[in-house]
C-alpha cells in the first residue's frame, strides 16, 4: 500500500519537475523499481521536498522504512523544527528590532534552505551523509523516530 502511494507521488512529482532519469531514480512499473533500495531512496528524497512527502515517510511503518529514509527523516525533522523556531524568534524580535530583524531571519532561513538542498543531494546519492551543524544533533534527539 505504501509503495503505491510513493509511486503515485513520485510520478506526479516527476511530471511536475521533469524527468528523474539523470539521477537514475525514474519511476518504473517493473520489478526493478519495486526494489527496496529504490523505494527507500525515493522516500528519503520526498522527506526534503514537501510536508506531504515528510508525512508519507513518517507514516510508513517502521518495519518497511529503510535506514536511509529513517536517517533523512530525522534530519529533516530537526531542520523543520529549527525553521519554525527561527520564524518564531523573528516574530518576537520584530517589536524590538523593527524590520531589521528580517535580515536575521533571511540569513537563517537561507541557511535552512541550504541544509535542505544538501540533504536532497545526499538522499539522491543514497548516502548517510550527516548535514553540517544538525546531523549529529538529529541523531541524538530523534533516535526513536
The H helix count followed by the E strand count for the chain is 6, 0
pLDDT of 33 reads: 47
Q: How confident is the model at residue 18 (pLDDT cuts 50, 70, 90)?
A: low
> How large is the average pLDDT for residues 7-13?
67
**Of the listed ranges 1-15, 24-38, 47-61, the one predicted with least confidence:** 24-38
Pick 25 or 88 by higher pLDDT. 88
pLDDT of 102 reads: 81
Q: Which long-range contacts (CB under 8 A, 24 or more apart) does 81-84 make?
A: 82/112, 82/134, 83/109, 83/112
Q: Give 32's contacts (C-beta < 8 A, 6+ positions apart).
A: 38
pLDDT of 120 reads: 93
pLDDT of 133 reads: 87
pLDDT tens digits for 103-135?
Answer: 888 888 899 999 999 999 999 998 899 999 888
Q: Report CA-CA distances (Å) from 18 to 22, 37, 63, 103, 122.
A: 10, 22, 31, 34, 20
pLDDT of 100 reads: 81
pLDDT tens digits for 66-92?
Answer: 899 999 999 999 999 999 998 898 888
State the average pLDDT for the chain. Answer: 81
Q: How confident is the model at residue 5 (pLDDT cuts 50, 70, 90)?
A: low
Rounded-to-integer distance, Cα 67 and Cα 89, Å: 33
Pick 26 or 145 by higher pLDDT. 145
Rounded-to-integer distance, Cα 34 and Cα 37, Å: 8
Pick 28 or 12 by higher pLDDT. 12
Amino acid at each position: 500500500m505504501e509503495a503505491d502511494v510513493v509511486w503515485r507521488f513520485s510520478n506526479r512529482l516527476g511530471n511536475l519537475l521533469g524527468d528523474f532519469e539523470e539521477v537514475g531514480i525514474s519511476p518504473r512499473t517493473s520489478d526493478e523499481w519495486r526494489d527496496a533500495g529504490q523505494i527507500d531512496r525515493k522516500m528519503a528524497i520526498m522527506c526534503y521536498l514537501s510536508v506531504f512527502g515528510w508525512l508519507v515517510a513518517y507514516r510508513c511503518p517502521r518495519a518497511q522504512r529503510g535506514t536511509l529514509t529513517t536517517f533523512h527523516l530525522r534530519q529533516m525533522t530537526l531542520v523543520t523544527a529549527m525553521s519554525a523556531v527561527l520564524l518564531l524568534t523573528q516574530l518576537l524580535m520584530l517589536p524590538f528590532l523593527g524590520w531589521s530583524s528580517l535580515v536575521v531571519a533571511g540569513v537563517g532561513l537561507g541557511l535552512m534552505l541550504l541544509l535542505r538542498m544538501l540533504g536532497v543531494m545526499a538522499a539522491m546519492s543514497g548516502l548517510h551523509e550527516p548535514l553540517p551543524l544538525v546531523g549529529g544533533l538529529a541523531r541524538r534527539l530523534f533516535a526513536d523516530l
